[in-house]
Amino acid sequence: MDKGRIFAYLITIIACTLYLLPLYTMVNVSLKSPEDLIWGPVAPARRLYFNSYLQAWEKISEPFFNSIKMTVPATLISTFLGSISGLGFYRAKFKYKDLLLFLIVLGFYVPPQAVLIPLVKFLADIGLYSTIAGLVLTHVAYGMPITTLLFKNYYESIPKEILDSAEVDGASLTTLYRSILLPLSLPGFAVVSIFQFTNIWNEFLFALVLGRGRASQLVTVAIANLKGTTLAAWNVQMAGAVIGAIPVAIFYIFATKLVIKGLMAGAIKG
């Protein structure tokens, strides 16, 4: 091995260590007993102490299930709606379709602060403020730009002849969707729904503003409430954070390829 490669290994390993340091801190502290905490976050836990996980779970289990109840339908609905509007824009021929699509995609870049106050007012007016349904609606609505775009781009990667020949046979758009695109697009559905799931599960601002009260508090907000209060010891806060990180981390570790596809597609221009 030449010197250059040894140097590259050294740099890579140092970089990885630095990247992992916060994660090490979180997991290590979460496994420490209260007496062990005084030795600080660096010294490894003297013995594994799982009681902090039980305490954390007691505090965040309800929000955790709220998050599942909110994230799963929001993911499914926004993925489905994206798949049909993506098809609409893919096959559309009318005059202003490019402009309309541009405006929809532009919606992705409008920061939530620009719409937050009307959003709260609107949801309160229709009785969905601080409800799971209100959060689902919000995430579906603001998910439309990216899911539409992802599906439209995905359909474009399917050989054109398949669709064209079906159209010649006089298939309706619904038939096209159901019998041709749906079976061909299963990988696309997997990519988009993982993309949406991770984003919606991790989202914080809407959860903070729209999920007030026990019935609609989400796990991100519950963990934020544990943090920095005297409500819970450090090890309990960290255990809560580990629990909250697990669902998405599972995708990142075990479905890395699908996650990366989604991330790459998300970065491709409109």
Partner 1 sequence: MARYGNLQIFLFILPATVLVGIFVYAFSAWNVSISLTDWRGLVTSIRFVGLENYLKLINDPIAQKALINTFLLAVTFIPLTMLIGLITAILLCLELKGTSIFRTIFLLPLSFSFVISATMWTWMFSPEQGTINSLLRLLHLDFLCQPWITSTEQSLWCILLVYIWQFSGYVTIIYYSGIRSIPQEHIEAAEIDGASRFNIYRHIIVPQLKGETIGVLTILLFYALRVFDLVYLLTGGGPALSSEVLATYMYRMTFNQNLFAYGASIGTVIFIIALAIMIPFLLLSRRR
Interacting residues with partner 1 between 130 and 189 (CB under 8 A): 138, 140-142, 144-145, 148, 167-168, 170-174
Closest approach of partner 1 to the CB of residue 10, in Å: 11
60-79 residues in contact with partner 1 (CB under 8 A) are none
Among 111, 159, 183, 213, binds partner 1 (CB under 8 A): 111
Among 87, 194, 236, 258, binds partner 1 (CB under 8 A): 87
Q: Does 213 bind partner 1 (CB under 8 A)?
A: no
- DSSP letter string, 30-94: HT--TTGGGGTTTSPPSS---HHHHHHHHHHHHHHHHHHHHHHHHHHHHHHHHHHHHHHHHH--S
- Three-state DSSP class for residue 97: helix
Q: Does 26 bind partner 1 (CB under 8 A)?
A: yes
Cα 199 from Cα 193, distance rounded (Å)? 10
For residue 15 the two structure tokens come to: 């970089």
- DSSP letter string, 196-259: HHHHHHH--HHHHHH--SGGG--HHHHHHHHTTSTTS-HHHHHHHHHHHHHHHHHHHHHSHHHH
219-258 residues in contact with partner 1 (CB under 8 A) are 220-221, 223-224, 227-228, 234, 237-238, 240-241, 244-245, 248-249, 251-253, 256
Selected range binding partner 1 among 44-52, 80-88, 178-186, 189-197, rule: CB under 8 A: 80-88
Per rule CB under 8 A, count of chain residues that contact partner 1: 101
Q: For residue 145, which phi and psi values (nearest 5 degrees)?
A: -55, -50
- Contact at 8 Å (CB) between 101 and 144? no
Q: Which is nearer to partner 1, 28 or 132 (CB)?
A: 28
Closest approach of partner 1 to the CB of residue 210, in Å: 11
- Three-state DSSP class for residue 128: coil
Selected range binding partner 1 among 51-59, 125-133, 181-189, 216-224, rule: CB under 8 A: 216-224
Q: Does 14 bind partner 1 (CB under 8 A)?
A: no
Closest approach of partner 1 to the CB of residue 166, in Å: 9
